[in-house]
Chain A
Amino acid sequence: MTHVRCPVCADEFPWSPASTVYLYNEENTAYEAKDISRMPPARQAQTRVTGYLKCPHPSRDMGEHYLPATYFDHPDPLVVGLIGASSAGKTHLLTAMIREAYRDGLLPYDVQTSALDFRRHNAFQSLYVKPLEEGTALPGTRRGVTEAADILLARGPNGRPRPITFFDVAGEDLESVGALNPATRFLAAANAVIFVHGLEDPADPGGPAPKDGGWSFELAIERLKGVPGADRIPAAIAVTKSDRLRYVPPIDRWLRHRGEHGLNAARLRAESRDVYAFLHYSKAYGSLRPFSAFRRCTLHFVSASGGDAVRTEGTSARFVRGIHPVNVLQPLVSILAMSGMILGPEAERVGSR
């Protein structure tokens, strides 16, 4: 019997492998319980791989929710939350990041990834990855999202698999001070955070620059502080839409840097230094708060698309020259290094002071 925490509702409860697995019936559009105790071990394992477990959810303040049946088979799950203002670029960054991860982008770091929840992964591919690959700008995230965006299973050099659950909620929810907002519940379960600061253009060309959007960061940090050991959570600050300033130093250097394979803590530190200096110069002090709040934190210039979307008609926008993501995996690589998934002396130096 072990004690586990659900990444969706953040409830803790004792758990042991159950003899009941839930399978999703597409025809009846419902999860149906299946007793697998009488199946031979091979069939049990197979059923669990595509099945679900129903979270017991002791606190009973959210709707029913399900996790992959093998989720708790793996110790030390990583729950990664993306924090940022509305339109900071969280969804685009997460989509580009997961896309790169599934295209073996983590292999240079000896990390292999696969899907843990096939249905969820397929939905993520259809709704986000494929449209982005086709050049469609993704819509703003709706409010009230409580489910995870995707769940990967990552295997590090020691072969030990580890689930990585990603949460992407609307900026409006992250900036809401409502205590009862279920969409920010994941913060209680998060043990890694990516703070997303978008390089925003003025609303009108030639107009004043938009204000610093650090309020969502501030709220998230305060919410996370309530959890013991929160300052040890690995954190990364990603400056998204860096393509907008891709010819401006030092961003041009970092977007074009085609570094060596594998982890380089000195390079990450040099980039963090330049990102920090850039945000400091831009007076985006709110967006630098995480660097002081967390003991290990890296900073990155990233571009999920490589360029701006162009409005076509109505609210539709397209990346007319296709997408060319740059540096999108670096925040995740840093987090994996800081959380012990990537091992070695270089990894130990990542993000440390």
Chain B
Amino acid sequence: MNSIKKHDLATLGACAVLFAIVQTLLFADFIGPFWELNIILILINVILSVSLNLINGYTGQFSIGHAGFLAVGAYTGAIVTVKLGLPFELALVVGTLCSALLGFLIGLPTLRLNGDYLAIATLGLGEIIRICILNIEYVGGASGLMGIPRFTTFAWAFWITVFIIFVIKNFKNSAPGRCCLAIRENEIAAETMGIDTTKYKVMAFTIGAGFAGTAGVLFAHYFYIAHPASFTFMRSFDILTMVVLGGLGSMTGAITGAVLLTAISAVLAEYPEWRMVIYSLTLIVLMINRPQGLFGSKELSLKMFRLGGSDNGRATESK
């Protein structure tokens, strides 16, 4: 069997073991609702972080409006279950597709901007989405959409997260993924090497947005309510911090950043202002001293978790 397939199966096996352990702990009530909440929150943040990393880290585009896609997924998924009474599985699909579609429509015109301008545009678009939601009575306007059934379980969240990580990992190690990396490295050279940079930027953006939407559906169906205040620029900033702390361009980094910062958030839940002050100071100090974050753009390769997925069968650092 192909060495790549072997890696993937081994990783899946390890995930299954991890899942079994946590699920048993939950079933047996060894760990209670507080833990379940935070574990699911971690998984949702991992999805957000990893999907933003696809756009910012792998493709080098500066998108800081990710909360907007989270919102679209949450609301459209909730409409499917609450307003239309359709199953959760459909909500997941619809939420993902709607966010992806929005990402595509937004990406097409804005991705020809670069650097700072793209950042501001995505920030603006994230805000426009939130303001629009605020003004739509059908989804509850300023009070939010309530009464969303809790369909998200640990199992759903876990396996969807694993699936998304695999999709993005495989994307990165394929031709379209390499094109995205090339665009990040040197956009002009990439164009000259025959790469339609707009196509791949939009592709990465769409996929990233879509998965943020998936996270949104999971989020809405755990916390019973979708409220505009959950999707502000601060949320986008939180996700960005996770990716940057972990290291732009590193999947391991994105996952680590999400886990760490969700944990810190949980600890500091009582003191939101202190949390923000600590976050911002951490970010400033980090940017000045180690802008590449914890992992830079490298992946961690442990014996069991071959997250990098090297094509040559080498188990050490891949890109």
Are A and B co-members of a single complex? no
